[in-house]
Amino acid sequence: MRRDRKQILLSFEAWLDRVLAEEEPPEGLPSEILARLSTESPHSTEGSCDLYSMWSQMTALVQEVKLQGRSFKQLSDAVAPVADLAPRLVEMEREAQTKARREVLEMFLDLRDRMVRGLETARKSLVRLEGLSPRGWRRKMLDWESLRETARETAVALEKGYALSLDRLDEVLHQLEVTEIPCQGRPFDPRYMQAVDLEETNQVPEGTVVEVYRVGYEWKGQTFRLAQVKVSRSAAGPAAGEQESGNASREHDARRPARLM
């Protein structure tokens, strides 16, 4: 009976080996392991793992996981302040860019003011040259006609150079969304203008801008630089028979902006 049982087990093992040999090897297992399993005896104890060894390996693995977790937490704590600072860094970068652009715009506008003054000076020089005409011995001694023509050519060249530079600079300012604030002949508006001088006159309504000393500008729809202007004020002592006009002027005084008072 024992011999029959052994024969049955051997027959079953042989059949199981044939079935397994015909199946595809499981995916994911290295070829070395499959080759080793096929060559080793199923009863071999080489490479076996008892419960104590397995528990030791699991304990070491748990300790390694704890160490890795502690290191990751320390790294997270170190990086957390930088992560919290990231939105602020973006805002700081935006503020720095805006400040730099404002400085560049201020430089451009200052350069434009200088060019405008240079253009006006060149044009005034042309007018003065046309009005100058020495007589007598000075005219012959100085060779006035030749001297005036040379001065005129210089003034014309300066005028043309200033005009071309201003046109190019205005194109750049337009690309940067910088626009001039219109003031001449308009009512005084403290949002866009700064009154630096007053002129008593009855030729225009009180509070009207009669002269612009420095041009004002807007940048992207907001006031970038206030315009410096001269504002009209009603002349003192209204003429007889203009009582109603005087009353209207006093009512206007009550509504006059604080900068004009």
The pLDDT of residue 259: 37
Residue 67's pLDDT is 83
- Dihedral, 16, 19, 20, 24 alpha carbons, nearest 10: -170
pLDDT at 258: 39
pLDDT of residue 252: 43
CA-based torsion, 49, 53, 55, 61: positive or negative: negative
Distances 124 to 16, 115, 131, 182 between C-alpha atoms, Å = 115, 14, 11, 24
Per-residue model confidence (pLDDT) at position 6: 77
Whether the Cβ atoms of residue 221 and residue 212 lie closer than 8 Å to each other: no
Predicted confidence at residue 151, as pLDDT, reads: 82
* Closest C-alpha among 258, 213, 209, 252 to residue 232: 209
| Angle CA 150–155–158, to nearest 5 | 130
CB 191, CB 223: distance < 8 Å? yes
pLDDT tens track, the chain, 261 positions: 666 777 777 787 777 677 666 656 556 556 666 566 555 554 444 555 566 677 777 788 888 888 888 887 888 777 777 666 667 777 888 888 888 888 999 999 999 999 999 999 988 888 887 777 666 555 555 666 777 788 888 889 989 999 999 999 999 999 989 999 999 999 999 999 999 999 999 899 999 999 999 999 999 888 999 999 999 998 874 443 344 444 444 444 444 443 332
pLDDT at 23: 58
Q: Which residue has the tokens 């003192």?
A: 236
CATH 2.40.50.140 fits 180-260, yes or no: no
